[in-house]
A and B are shown apart, each in its own frame.
Chain A
Amino acid sequence: MQDLLYFFQQLINGLTIGSAYALIAIGYTMVYGIIGMINFAHGEVYMIGAYTALIAITGLTAFGIAWLPLVLIVALICAVIVSSSMGWAVERVAYRPVRGRHRLIPLISAIGMSIFLQNYVHLAQGSRNIGFPALMDGGFQFGSADSFQMSLSYMQITIFITTLICMTLLSLFISRSRIGRACRAVSQDLRMANLLGIDTNRIISATFVIGASLAAVAGLLLGMYYGSVDPLFGFIAGLKAFTAAVLGGIGSIPGAMLGGLILGVAESMTSGYLSGEYKDVVSFSLLILILLFKPTGLLGKPEVEKI
């Protein structure tokens, strides 16, 4: 019984982290699906989202506003606005001028952007990690008090529900809206979509904005979950989310969700049963193995290289 509870605890922890990874992974996968580049600075956009949310929360508390739903919604809106502006600006400054050049060039530009943003926040906000106030305490407890207790905190429930809402909205947006349809068209064939009168530049910008908004949501959620942020917060999370995107099949949105969940569970099982130190090793090894044996990922389409 106890072992089972312990297992479920790890599963819940993993799904929590995994759903947040999935939110970040969407940004990677959409951008890759459309322009075929890895947006290395995406993790930093997520980190900036977390910082903005923290600034908003702290600011509101200073004004004496403490009604939790209002605080969260305002923080969320601020984070989404700042992050999506960031995503838009990054694309404009660092990626659009180099679009269509040799593969390595946008990638190096993206790495440069990532380093730049990391140090921008580092210089502005200091390198120390800053604590997120604990807004949501408590949760449900399962199991007897004298042995292992499984807990499902309100925070975790919030993360699940928010992720679920975001994913549903995104799916509806992609499948129903005009811009969503254009996104799909552009990801299938950029040049043809352009010929058919779609403003591809706008669609690419929209992709960055959507990805960055979801990353901002994840930034708020994970910032609260972990309880602190620092300028390097985005680097590892970005790598994990990229791993999730590759795991699920890069370019595929359901794949990113699936990949995020699998990665989250794998990680939390490692920290639960082996050691917390090796969880990064496990996720990177998973990435390497996936790329070796199934480079298209779980739900990705095989890519045919044309000459």
Chain B
Amino acid sequence: MATPNFKHALFCAIVTIVIAYPILGLNLVAESTRVIVEGADTTTVISVFAAALVVFLFQLFRDRIMASLGGLPKLNPFADREHMPESKRARLESWVLTGIVVLALFWPFFVSRGSVDLATLVLIYIMLALGLNVVVGLAGLLDLGYVAFYAVGAYTFALLSQYAGVSFWMALPIGACLAALFGLVLGFPVLRLRGDYLAIVTLGFGEIIRILLNNWTALTGGPNGIGGIPDPTLFGMEFGRRVKEEGNTSFHDTFGIAYSSEHKVIFLYLIALILAVITALIIRRFMRMPVGRAWEALREDEIAARSLGLSRTAVKLSAFTIGAFFAGFAGTVFASKQGFISPESFVFLESAIILAIVVLGGMGSQLGVVLAAIAVTILPELAREFSDFRMLVFGAAMVLMMVWRPQGLMPMRRTHIQLRRQE
């Protein structure tokens, strides 16, 4: 009885060794001009074989393990619990979100400069993820070139400030609108494509934008990037030690306090926070508007939605454009926070990270996306020695999520009525 199982298990174990040993166990080392192969240390080799053994045993007793797992008590004690009524849930969610925002408002005044800086980055990621959530989570369009719109926002601000001396507050709407325009122009032809083609085309578009930024040296500075991007001002008050522009005053002089470089960091953080909240609120509105429902309808069943009179192009295009708009928003803030941008910041990996945030958080769910953005950005900072493993873990997490919990950690709940059978 155990023969087929045994053969399969043995096969799986051999495959494990074959795919793990050459790459992990034999390291290529460049020695002056030659390349030599070095065996890895014993621990690695032992762990490869241990992994093979685990695979072997698991496959051998797979049926029994699966059966006993089914018999175990549920891991999630709330799984059988009755769902909260929709109105209560929504209220709870908005209370939690408000609580987070209020906490976030006062928090930077008590912590170090480094953590405020990191928090600003988290907020930028939240904006990006919320924007991508519209495209991927709500409209079901897989956009792998989202970072291109982020780049458009960032570069718009950088170039405008360099060539025209435009300030942050002017550049913010311009950058966002230009990114939205790019989304519109790209989206118009490609949104007719089916889902997976769309993914590849957007990926190609992202790469095109990056290559152009890298090679159009005369305008963008190429790989050297653009520096000296000005900080935002508060009603004409600058945060630097000395006033750079004519007619402005400096923040610490106006209020008669000592200069501190922390003011600027906190101010940037607050701007990012306010913009993130605005992003969340606007998208929340959109979700409840007819267009938001149309996005979801088209995602769930395109043919049914079209036969109910929804224009496919218009609905998809609106999602794509709105997503791009918020990416441009985030890009402007990013440029201003860094003070320097280069094409290095807008590689495909960045798109993948934002996508991972949306997927992990639960496609369509705002609270989930916010929590995932915080987790994905902060966890690698907390465990710095593991930061090399960050992308490895992301990749694995994306696969495992899709296999076990494709709806994400905090799936979105739609307003619905549950019909109960009468006893």
The chain A residues found within 8 Å of chain B, CB to CB, are: 37-38, 48, 51-52, 54-55, 58-59, 62, 78, 81-82, 85-86, 88-89, 93-94, 97-98, 101-109, 111-126, 128, 130-131, 133, 235, 239, 242-243, 246, 275, 277-278, 280-281, 284-285, 287-288, 291-292, 295, 305, 307
Binds A, one of B120-128, B164-172, B388-396: B388-396
Are A55 and B26 in touch, CB under 8 angstroms? yes
Are B36 and A38 in touch, CB under 8 angstroms? no
B contacts with A: majority SS: helix
Among A93, A104, A118, A287, the most chain B Cβ lie within 10 Å of the Cβ of A104
Q: Is B368 an interface residue, CB under 8 A from the partner?
A: no
* In-complex Cβ contact of B37 among A55, A81, A102, A122 (8 A): A55
Docked CA distance A119–B215 (Å):
27
Hey, which chain A residues are within 8 Å of B410, CB to CB? Answer: none
Q: Whose C-beta in chain A lies nearest to the C-beta of B14?
A: A85
A contacts with B: majority SS: helix
Docked CA distance A246–B355 (Å):
24
Q: Is B207 an interface residue, CB under 8 A from the partner?
A: yes
Are B35 and A130 in touch, CB under 8 angstroms? yes
Q: Which of B138-157 contact A (CB under 8 A)?
A: 140, 142, 144
Q: Whose C-beta in chain A lies nearest to the C-beta of B200?
A: A242
Are B399 and A239 in touch, CB under 8 angstroms? no
Docked CA distance A57–B293 (Å):
58
Could you write out 24 A-B pairs with CB less than 8 Å apart?
A38-B200, A51-B22, A52-B23, A88-B15, A89-B15, A103-B196, A104-B140, A106-B402, A107-B142, A109-B402, A112-B356, A112-B394, A115-B392, A124-B23, A124-B27, A130-B30, A246-B197, A246-B200, A277-B215, A280-B208, A285-B204, A288-B190, A288-B204, A307-B303
Are A97 and B195 in touch, CB under 8 angstroms? no
* In-complex Cβ contact of B208 among A98, A109, A112, A285 (8 A): A285
For the complex of A and B, the 7 pairs showing the least CB-CB separation, nearest first, are: A112-B398, A116-B395, A115-B395, A284-B204, A109-B402, A119-B392, A112-B399
Task: Determine how close the nearest CB of chain B comes to the CB of A30; give it in whole angstroms.
Answer: 16
Are B392 and A62 in touch, CB under 8 angstroms? no
Task: Determine how close the nearest CB of chain A comes to the CB of B254; give it in whole angstroms.
Answer: 48
Hey, which chain B residues are within 8 Å of A275, CB to CB? Answer: 215
Q: Is B105 an interface residue, CB under 8 A from the partner?
A: no
B: number of interface residues (CB 8 Å):
61
Known contacts A111-B144, A125-B27, A277-B215: does B35 contact A54 (CB below 8 Å)?
A: yes
Q: Whose C-beta in chain A lies nearest to the C-beta of B398?
A: A112
* In-complex Cβ contact of A58 among B35, B136, B195, B214 (8 A): B35
Q: Whose C-beta in chain B lies nearest to the C-beta of A282?
A: B208
Among A98, A124, A242, A292, the most chain B Cβ lie within 10 Å of the Cβ of A124
Docked CA distance A106–B30 (Å):
38
Are B211 and A278 in touch, CB under 8 angstroms? yes
Known contacts A130-B30, A295-B193: does B23 contact A280 (CB below 8 Å)?
A: no
Are A108 and B195 in touch, CB under 8 angstroms? no
Docked CA distance A288–B395 (Å):
27
Given contacts A112-B401, A288-B190, 6 further A-B contacts (CB under 8 A): A112-B396, A123-B388, A246-B200, A277-B214, A277-B215, A291-B197
Are B189 and A51 in touch, CB under 8 angstroms? no
Are A107 and B35 in touch, CB under 8 angstroms? no
Docked CA distance A275–B403 (Å):
44
Hey, which chain B residues are within 8 Å of A291, CB to CB? Answer: 190, 193, 197, 201
Task: Determine how close the nearest CB of chain A comes to the CB of B143; give it in whole angstroms.
Answer: 11
Docked CA distance A78–B22 (Å):
9
Hey, which chain A residues are within 8 Å of B16, CB to CB? Answer: 89
Are B394 and A278 in touch, CB under 8 angstroms? no
Docked CA distance A131–B390 (Å):
27
Hey, which chain A residues are within 8 Å of B192, CB to CB? Answer: 292
Docked CA distance A62–B27 (Å):
13
Are A109 and B403 in touch, CB under 8 angstroms? yes
Hey, which chain A residues are within 8 Å of B388, CB to CB? Answer: 123
Task: Determine how close the nearest CB of chain B comes to the CB of A123; give it in whole angstroms.
Answer: 6
Known contacts A38-B196, A106-B402: does B394 contact A125 (CB below 8 Å)?
A: no
Known contacts A52-B22, A108-B398: does B37 contact A120 (CB below 8 Å)?
A: no
Hey, which chain B residues are within 8 Å of A107, CB to CB? Answer: 142, 195-196, 199
Q: Whose C-beta in chain A lies nearest to the C-beta of B400?
A: A112
Q: Whose C-beta in chain B lies nearest to the C-beta of A120?
A: B392
Map CB proximity to A onto B371-414 as digits: 1 under 8 Å, 0 otherwise.
00000000000000000110110111111011100100000000
Hey, which chain A residues are within 8 Å of B19, CB to CB? Answer: 48, 82, 85-86, 89
Docked CA distance A275–B215 (Å):
10
* In-complex Cβ contact of A93 among B204, B205, B399 (8 A): B399
* In-complex Cβ contact of B391 among A103, A104, A118, A292 (8 A): A118
* In-complex Cβ contact of A81 among B18, B190, B395 (8 A): B18
Q: Is B28 an interface residue, CB under 8 A from the partner?
A: yes
Hey, which chain A residues are within 8 Å of B348, CB to CB? Answer: 235
Hey, which chain B residues are within 8 Å of A89, CB to CB? Answer: 15-16, 19
Q: Is B129 an interface residue, CB under 8 A from the partner?
A: no
* In-complex Cβ contact of B28 among A78, A93, A118, A125 (8 A): A125
* In-complex Cβ contact of B195 among A104, A124, A246 (8 A): A104
Q: Is B97 an interface residue, CB under 8 A from the partner?
A: no
Q: Whose C-beta in chain A lies nearest to the C-beta of B142?
A: A104
Q: Which of B1-57 contact A (CB under 8 A)?
A: 15-16, 18-19, 22-24, 26-28, 30, 33-37
Docked CA distance A116–B215 (Å):
29
Task: Determine how close the nearest CB of chain B comes to the CB of A106; give it in whole angstroms.
Answer: 7
Known contacts A85-B18, A128-B30, A295-B193: does B204 contact A287 (CB below 8 Å)?
A: yes
Task: Determine how close the nearest CB of chain A comes to the CB of B145; give it in whole angstroms.
Answer: 10
Q: Is B352 an interface residue, CB under 8 A from the partner?
A: yes
Q: Is B176 an interface residue, CB under 8 A from the partner?
A: no
Task: Determine how close the nearest CB of chain A comes to the CB of B409; give it in whole angstroms.
Answer: 15
Are B389 and A109 in touch, CB under 8 angstroms? no
Known contacts A85-B19, A115-B391: does B208 contact A284 (CB below 8 Å)?
A: yes
Among A94, A122, A128, A278, the most chain B Cβ lie within 10 Å of the Cβ of A94
Are B395 and A117 in touch, CB under 8 angstroms? yes
Q: Whose C-beta in chain B lies nearest to the C-beta of A283?
A: B204
